[in-house]
Amino acid sequence: MGTQQLINRVALVTGGASGIGLAIAQKLYQAGSHIAIADLDLGKAEEALTAIPQLDGQQKLALCVDMADYQSVYAMAERCEEKLGRIDILVNNAGFQHVAPIENFPKEVFQKLIDVMLVGPFVATQAVFAGMKQRGWGRIINISSINGKIGAPFKAGYCSAKHGIIGLTRVTAVEAGDSGVTCNAICPGFVDTPLVRKQLTDLSMGYNVSPDSVIEEVILPHVPQNRLIGADEIGDTAVFLSSDEAAAITGQAINVSGGYVMH
């Protein structure tokens, strides 16, 4: 696989201002694609783009989107197409976490998790699918989680959304048929990002350990490689799935978890 294998592709990454989305955007850009970062926080998206060194002939675009608002999602796709010509690679990455036992889980937060991490990606897929199929090439990459494959205590909303998006991934792959469009999910294990750091205090209460020892005592015992995953490792997987070499891989939910989950 060459280093510039994505030359002239246009990639749109939601939630690309931070963590995994930012690493994916950086890696796709380094691999040759034009890149749009869409985030709830436009200022953070613009800052993130500034931190990615400009390469000759490759465009960068910051967009504002609320993935929980379907009109905002359509507007994001339209603006990206207007500015960069089309969308070849869609990465549905935006997300957040809420940790609480089912008895105390607020219904509106459960709904929001589903809206941002399942309905939003569905709407974004609707917005790009016809164009990709017409052009005979496209990549849709949904960021699920190992929590899309296994239940985790206190994560009812998150696990439901992440299981759901694997279903959406499979339907998209089947409907893409022989069009040249593939759709896959990446299922990261624990990646060291703000999303993970923010949940340590809540998890420590659930598991009755100190916040400082959640990683060592609660998370790592499940990980054969005994480490957190790097955001750039998820970026590398996204670049591979976006390449022509990955053309036969579709409808898959690929764990990048240091062995935490093996199915």
Ligand X SMILES: NC(=O)c1ccc[n+]([C@@H]2O[C@H](COP(=O)([O-])OP(=O)(O)OC[C@H]3O[C@@H](n4cnc5c(N)ncnc54)[C@H](O)[C@@H]3O)[C@@H](O)[C@H]2O)c1
- Residue 15 binding ligand X, by CB under 6 A: yes
Q: Is the separation of the CB atoms in 245 and 176 below 8 Å?
A: no
Contacts 24+ apart (CB under 8 A), 165-172: 165/92, 165/117, 165/118, 165/121, 166/142, 166/253, 168/118, 168/121, 168/122, 168/125, 168/142, 169/140, 169/142, 169/144, 169/251, 169/252, 169/253, 170/251, 172/125, 172/129, 172/140
Q: Beta strands 253-256 and 138-143: pairing type?
A: unpaired
Kindly tell me which residue out of 5, 41, 137, 150 binds ligand X, with binding defined by CB under 6 A.
41
User: Closer to ligand X at the Cβ: 98 or 139?
Assistant: 98
Residue number of the CB atom closest to ligand X: 19
- Residue 18 binding ligand X, by CB under 6 A: yes
- Residue 65 binding ligand X, by CB under 6 A: yes
Binding string, residues 103-132; x marks residues near ligand X by CB under 6 A: -------------xx---------------
Q: Which of 29, 70, 158, 260 is catalytic?
A: 158
* CA gap 164, 144 in Å, rounded: 9
Query: Is residue 260 annotated as a catalytic residue, yes or no?
Result: no
- Residue 164 binding ligand X, by CB under 6 A: no
- Residue 63 binding ligand X, by CB under 6 A: no
What positions carry a catalytic annotation?
158
Q: State the residues that interact with ligand X by CB under 6 A.
A: 14-15, 17-21, 39-41, 65-68, 93-96, 116-117, 143, 145, 188, 190-191, 193-196
